[in-house]
Amino acid sequence: MTSEGELHVWKKPLELFEVQEKPVKICAPMVRYSKLAFRMLVRKYGCDLAFTPMIISESFIKSVKARDSEFTTCKEDRPLVVQFAANNAKDLADAAEIIAPYADGVDLNCGCPQRWAMQEGYGSYLIKKPELVKDMVAQTRGRVSRDDFSVSVKIRLRENERETVELCQRAEKAGASWITVHGRTPSQRSQPVNLDAIKLIKENVTIPVVANGDIKSLEDCHMVREHTGIDGVMSARGMLENPAMFAGYDTTPLSCIKDWMELAISVGTPYQCFHNHLIYMMEKALPRSERRIFNALCSTTAVLDYLNHNYDISI
């Protein structure tokens, strides 16, 4: 971890919800992808708030090596929310206390539908444990006393919408700053997002609600806002394909690709991550034959040469 260094001015997450023109635009926590360089990139293109990838709280607490591996930041990496997977209140509170000097809030993952996570009591397992979620939020809120430090929760829907609403209400009473709702149940993958369920949650809590799921353009942001009345929108796959999405671009502009190259190299992004982001960004721009060539490149030098030769992009 790196310290904040010199003073850098930014709006805290709660300030964004209070003063920002709605909806607040948020980059989702994505395993392997929403790391420092990408967070820095999307902020250049209209993103108001960025999340880290999900971090396992237990290993984060116990191991300095794990902390240094999982969490890297800098003074410009703000506002920043660190997302944790935890299965008990103490772990989440301990992790929040460690991270508080370097971030603006923590988020409890109650949405990951992967089998391994649910078997460990993480992610979507927690949406059926509303009292545990309430305790986790309350203890974390009590541990970090800063008024400007947010404690949020990201969930998926339960099959019973009323039970989902009750979960959110308990989190609110415990002190949750806002709730992000992925509009599918843990068992759903490609089914349409349930905007009516998100609207129902928004109507039954007083804290901000953020909508997540199938938000892939600025038009989607406005449509979801109009349908549900939510306060924020969170995008994952849409941001990978087009990090400039929130700035109104339909596809990734060349300026964004160049910015990614410069940022990624400046912070020492591993090649696989560097290349994979470019594969996502250029997926719609490259013909299939060119995609095969580009996707098979094996070094940073090869990627730089390709982009310089074919798109006149150089750094």
Active site residues: 112
Tokens in use for 299? 């070094």
Burial class of 188 by CB neighbour count within 10 A (0 to 12, 13 to 18, 19+): middle
The answer to whether the peptide bond before residue 113 is cis (omega within 30 degrees of 0) is: no
**Tokens in use for 293?**
């060539």
Q: What distances in angstroms separate CA 153 from CA 19, 26, 128, 195, one per listed residue? A: 21, 14, 14, 18
One DSSP character per residue, 7-69 reads ------HHHHHHHSPSSEEEEPP-TTTSSHHHHHHHHTTT--EEEPPPEEHHHHHH-HHHHHH
Q: Please, are residues 253 and 278 in contact by the beta-carbon 8 Å criterion?
A: no
